[in-house]
Amino acid sequence: MAGRGLIGAAGGLARAVGVSLGLKTGVVVGGLRSALNAVVGNRKSRVGLAVILAYVALAILAPFISPYSPYETDINSILQPPSPQHLFGTDDAGRDLFTENMYAISTSLIVGLFATLVTILVGTVVGLVSGYYGGVVDEVLMRVTDFLLIVPPVMLMIVVGSLLGSSLLNIILVIGLLNWSPIARVIRSMVLTVKEWPFVEASRSMGAGDRLIMFKHIFPIVAPVVFANSMLSVANAIFSHAALVFLGVGNINDISWGTILHFAYTSGSFTAGYWWYFTPPGLMLLGLVLGFMLLGVGLEEVYNPKLRSSISV
């Protein structure tokens, strides 16, 4: 039953997403509007969203505002400090660092979003199935969840990543598949409460199946929490990716801040004092991670009134 449940559940989720995309545009528009209201209603998430949008704009504009190609080397101008020709200076192979830093945004965004997509999909299905069915299924899934929660994720990513090889897809999968346990836990605990609500029983008495109840009735209730958690998960994924690339796991030919910092470190720029080499990638990474963190923390405050700071004692 467990295996059938999991596969069925994944199918159900995909269908639920498909249905809401294809047929019920009204539901989707409503959902987006309420999500937007939630974001705009909180100061932290508003700032977070603004930061993220600025990064997205820069990522799209990267090819137009960068005067060079990110791969183009120029042996005659290596390690140049910032100048009108090279706004952020050049690295030890004479690449334009402004160009590299701008192109790096999209790598981080892609890793963050796709890894989180994997995380949400697995985390939601595991949480729903585990909480809804209970019993042996729950016990097994929760053991796996605990295992992933307790074992240091980046350590596991280092091992798996350096064994599997280092394509961007592998890194995305590794990050996505090792990060879903917090989401699964949160959803499971919510499902345990929601499934006892009378409307679920009413629906079942009218002949609704497990999958319908899980994805049509329970999922929409837990969806806001998934949304808030997924923003924190994006921050986490971007951070993990940078750390992995810095340590030499992952493809060092992808243009990313982790790569720039890896080479800044191995070429000794910290000790030699080439501040323009290592300062911008760190600051830009910090800004993007902070943006997603603020958005996630803000949304958590919106959906969990206990965290709001307005209650007075």
Partner 1 sequence: MPYRSFILRKFFTLVLTLFIITLVNFVLFRLLPGDPIMLLFRDPRLTPEQIDYLYHKFGLDKPLWEQFFIYLWNLLRGEWGISFAYKKPIMEILIPRITNSLILVIPATVLSILLGVVTGVVAAWKRGGLTDALVSFVSLGLYSLPTFWLGGIFIFLSINYWRLPVGGMLNYGVDHSNPLAYLGDLFTHITLPLATLTLVSYGSFTLTVRGALLDVLSEDYIRTAVAKGLSSWRVLSRHALPNAMLPTVSLTAVSLGTAVTGSVLTETVFNWPGVGRLIFDAISNRDYPLLQAGFLVITISVLLANFLADIVYGLLDPRVKYR
Binding site for partner 1 (CB under 8 A): 143, 146-147, 149-156, 158-160, 162-163, 235, 239, 242-243, 246-249, 261, 264-265, 270-271, 273, 275, 278-279, 281-282, 285-286, 289-290, 293-294, 297, 306-307, 309-311, 313
Helix, strand or coil, per DSSP, at residue 254:
coil
Q: Is the Cβ of residue 6 or residue 243 nearer to partner 1 in the bound state? A: 243
For residue 50, the minimal CB distance to partner 1 (Å) is 15
User: What is the C-alpha end-to-end distance of the chain, expressed in Å?
Assistant: 50
For residue 35, the minimal CB distance to partner 1 (Å) is 22
Q: Is the Cβ of residue 86 or residue 241 nearer to partner 1 in the bound state? A: 241
The CA-based angle 27-123-168, given to 5 degrees, is 100
Helix, strand or coil, per DSSP, at residue 96:
strand
Q: What phi and psi values does residue 165 have, to the nearest 5 degrees?
A: 100, 170
For residue 310, the minimal CB distance to partner 1 (Å) is 6
Residue whose C-alpha is closest to residue 251's, from 238, 241, 261: 241
* Both structure tokens of 254: 């992808």
Q: Is the Cβ of residue 205 or residue 271 nearer to partner 1 in the bound state? A: 271
For residue 33, the minimal CB distance to partner 1 (Å) is 28
Q: Is the Cβ of residue 33 or residue 143 nearer to partner 1 in the bound state? A: 143
For residue 155, the minimal CB distance to partner 1 (Å) is 6
- Measured distance CA(256)–CA(258) in Å, rounded: 5
Residue whose C-alpha is closest to residue 259's, from 273, 272, 275, 248: 248
Helices (H), the chain: 2-22, 25-41, 43-65, 97-133, 135-150, 153-164, 168-178, 181-194, 198-205, 210-212, 219-247, 257-266, 269-272, 275-303
For residue 277, the minimal CB distance to partner 1 (Å) is 10
* Both structure tokens of 184: 């699964």
For residue 70, the minimal CB distance to partner 1 (Å) is 20
Residue 60 CB-density burial (10 A; 0-12 exposed, 13-18 middle, 19+ buried)? exposed
